Amino acid sequence: MPDSTVGSLLQWLDECPTPFHVVATAASSLDAAGFTRTTQLGNELPGLGYLAVDGCIVAWRLGTRTGALRIIGAHTDSPNLRILPNADIHQLGWSQLAIEIYGGVLLNSWLDRDLGIAGRVIDSHGVAHLFSAPKALARVPQLAIHLDREIGDKGLHLDRHQHMTPVWGSTKQSFADWLERTSGVADVSAFDAHLFDISRASLLGADKSLLASARLDNQASCWSAIEALRNAPVSEHTSILVLNDHEEVGSNSSTGAAGPMLANVVSLIASQHGLSEGQQFDRLASSWCLSADNAHAIHPNYAERHEPRHAPLINNGPAVKVNGNQRYATSARGLAHIRSIAESNGIPLQTFASRNNVPCGSTIGPITATQLGIEAIDIGIPQLSMHSAREMCGASDPVYMVSLMSAFLQR
Ligand code: ZN
């Protein structure tokens, strides 16, 4: 049976349909643990604090002047369908919503699902207001098999523009009017509105050993990191958590891993600790970053897609991700470091490497290592159906991940 703490992960996943909701949920969890929100970086940083901007949050627990940094990173965004500014389409008796595909969506997984809408509106004073409507509002309807006789032989072909446009009524709907009513904001100037599958996160299997939900990549890592930081004991090391936006589209933005938020906080902590430039370089050289992003568990129906000696099993612990071409940042030294932490704490650990003819994705690990000069270790819980509207992982692995992250912050 899975650990009871996994219930808090299920709740998190249901509360966080967008990166903005991830940041809000992370912030309220940190508030409850005694962290202070910082809005003016010109002031002294609190010992336990965080900075939240749009879809990114950086939190810290200050250690001593001579301690090193222990950074955990993850990303808040997931591939999805997003509503365009001029949203209304009225044609052929249908009301539809103009959308943009964000990131590497598994398009077929969005068909015939009941979709809700969530995000934020910006009012005429520039203030952001979150909203979420987890109701059956929209659907991307699949073509009947009778009108697509070749689907059996040729497979499903979806045109990214024409075939993914959702319907959301048979009478003339105005998205602007709906948004005003739903958000309770009368002067909406602009919005970020994302579609999401309204099925709730749930345990799955006759033994309830699996977990099915949207956005496991990468909110399972975000949840684990917040749990670890909240409960981290006082240490000489300074613990830092960064949850970046825009990883799924390359990380180049002010709130992405290639942006300045983490570097700014690291530099402010150095100046608060009174470190010279040389002392800061020494600190960075003795620091570690754990970059957490889900890995691919071996799929029982597609086992040939995996490197057989590096194919993570479900519910057998987090997988360290290795790629000499630097799609993942883990070096042999990093692998040795995290193995020693796992071993001394009795936490199972696996390794993932992709086949040479199946190139892997990347993570924020190499970007963070490049930006800060800190050695990074890429790691993730194994899952199936990555980038589907509904993904699946083992129910025990997120709990193993919390234990590993907690131990990492102390070593
Ligand atoms: Zn990811």
pLDDT tens-digit map of 23-36: 999 999 999 999 99
CA of 248 to the centre of ligand 1 (A): 7
Residue found under tokens 């994705």 = 361
User: Cα separation of 93 and 100, whole Å?
Assistant: 22
Q: Looking at residue 388, what DSSP letter applies?
A: S
CA of 336 to the centre of ligand 1 (A): 24
pLDDT tens-digit map of 146-175: 999 888 889 999 999 999 999 999 999 999
User: Cα separation of 408 and 391, whole Å?
Assistant: 27
Beta carbons of 374 and 288 less than 8 angstroms apart: yes
CA of 243 to the centre of ligand 1 (A): 12
Please give the model's pTM, rounded to 2 decimal places: 0.97
Q: What is the pLDDT of residue 209?
A: 97
Closest C-alpha among 102, 317, 292, 302 to residue 196: 102
Within the chain, all domains assigned CATH 3.40.630.10 are found at 3-78+214-409
pLDDT tens-digit map of 48-99: 999 999 999 999 999 999 999 999 999 999 999 999 999 999 999 999 999 9
Closest C-alpha among 410, 409, 407 to residue 342: 407
CATH superfamily of this structure's domain 80-197: Aminopeptidase i, Domain 2 (2.30.250.10)
Q: What is the pLDDT of residue 361?
A: 79
Q: What residues contact 263, with CB distance under 8 A and at least 6 apart?
A: 371, 372
Angstrom CA distances, 185 to 4, 120, 130, 191, stand at 38, 10, 10, 11
Closest C-alpha among 295, 284, 292 to residue 371: 284
Sheet bearing 375-380, strands edge to edge: 36-37, 48-53, 56-61, 238-244, 69-75, 288-292, 375-380, 319-321, 350-352
Q: What residues contact 180, with CB distance under 8 A and at least 6 apart?
A: 186, 188
CA of 225 to the centre of ligand 1 (A): 14
Within the chain, all domains assigned CATH 2.30.250.10 are found at 80-197
CA of 175 to the centre of ligand 1 (A): 30
Residues of the chain with pLDDT under 50: 1
Q: What is the pLDDT of residue 1?
A: 46
CA of 120 to the centre of ligand 1 (A): 22
Task: Calculate helix-pair angle for 216-230, 19-32, nearest 10 degrees.
Answer: 10
CA of 217 to the centre of ligand 1 (A): 5
CA of 310 to the centre of ligand 1 (A): 19
Helix (H) and strand (E) counts in the chain? 10, 20
Pairing outcome for strands 295-296 and 382-384: parallel
Beta carbons of 203 and 9 less than 8 angstroms apart: no
Task: Record the tokens describing residue 173, joined without a space.
Answer: 């709907």
CA of 331 to the centre of ligand 1 (A): 20
Q: Which of the four CATH numbers 3.40.630.10, 2.60.40.10, 3.40.190.10, 3.40.50.720 does domain 3-78+214-409 have?
A: 3.40.630.10
Closest C-alpha among 165, 190, 158, 173 to residue 100: 165
Q: How many residues does the chain have?
A: 411
CA of 141 to the centre of ligand 1 (A): 27
CA of 363 to the centre of ligand 1 (A): 7
CA of 171 to the centre of ligand 1 (A): 38
CA of 388 to the centre of ligand 1 (A): 12
